Amino acid sequence: MSQKYDESFQRGTELFRLAAPLMLKQEATPNPISFAVWYEHVAGRNTALSREIDALSENGGRLTDAHVLDLYQRYLIDAYMAATASVHNTLSRVMHEAATTIDESRGTANDYSTELRQRQSALLGPIDRLNLQKAVTEILKETEGVSLSMSEIGHRLAANHAEVERLRDELRQAKELSLIDALSRLTNRRGFDLALDEMVANARESLEPLSLILVDIDHFKKFNDTYGHLLGDRVIRGVARAMTLAVRAADVVARYGGEEFAILLPATAIDEAGKVAERIRASISRAHVRRVDDDLPVGGVTVSAGVAIYRRPESALDFVSRADKALFAAKFAGRNRVHLRAE
């Protein structure tokens, strides 16, 4: 769990009292995952989570178990930490095996060294040809045995090395997956926040511009209520694909929350970012949405976008706030448009 709970007994009881009726009203499955999501919602400390819950439950909408699990995975659980624990346990075992192997090799080498010293001592005195041949034969036999033993130890150490390499790849993949949104396959909110902090820090120290686009699907709640969540999920994936096709490899495209997306564009002036946003808007407006069950067209969707450029030395929060204001202006002006906030 990425969220730690340190509420008092009284506070915890109050949050339970608030969460329980909401769960009953939603007919939420009474399991630990469901309770964790609603508990976090009524605690009021995870605004992105609460915003999604409010949007999904607006006008009597119901959160399915799939919705709850998706929220839990995106806002509460840290898959990277779980993978880290697994890798830690395996790595401990591998290190123990490697240490044992090294100890064995050390013991084998010491035994061999002792044998050689004894043979050397025996050869210092008078020795006939027969005994010399016997000594050489025994030394060759012992050397061959040590060689085989060391070869086996080498193979075991090589296997340990290969397993450590596999663990490193597994950890890297788990870290990457923990920053990916399950539905859209874009960077998730956690990944966006990390990228935002890094890019803002770079922008403060350099002369390179940094632009941000916030994109919101127009009337998505109404669309979901009319055609169902399966088609809504298809729309989210389609919008994500349109944005991915419109940006460069260096840009970060993220699902910011619900039907809202964010795009970070390093080394990009606001006018150029506005052109990217307009290409995305136009591409989505030309697309046709088809029903899941019979593939019949049901019309299209549009998006609104707000664009802002980073102004040194403002905080990352202020930067996002200005982009959000630009998005609001686009929606207020009638939606299906792009608004630039240059100041």
Helix axes 32-43, 47-57, angle to 10 degrees: 110
CA proximity to 316, closest of 207, 213, 209, 204:
204
Report the relative pairing of strands 303-309 and 338-341 from DSSP bridges: parallel
Amino acid at 21: P
Q: Residue for token digits 């080394």?
A: 267
Report the helix count and the strand count for the chain, using DSSP H and E. 11, 7
For the record, the structure tokens of 141 come out as: 């036999």
Phi then psi for residue 309, to 5 deg, are: -115, 145
Amino acid at 254: A
List the catalytic residues.
259
Q: Residue for token digits 């390179």?
A: 208
Q: Return the sign of the alpha-carbon dihedral for residues 164, 169, 174, 175.
A: positive
Q: Give the side-chain half-sphere CA count within 13 A for 72.
A: 17
CA separation for the pair 306, 240 (Å, rounded)? 16
For the record, the structure tokens of 144 come out as: 């061959």
CA proximity to 320, closest of 269, 234, 261:
261
CA proximity to 280, closest of 309, 253, 246, 307:
246
How far from the centroid of its chain's Cα atoms is residue 56's Cα?
24
For the record, the structure tokens of 36 come out as: 């964790």
Q: Give the side-chain half-sphere CA count within 13 A for 155.
A: 5
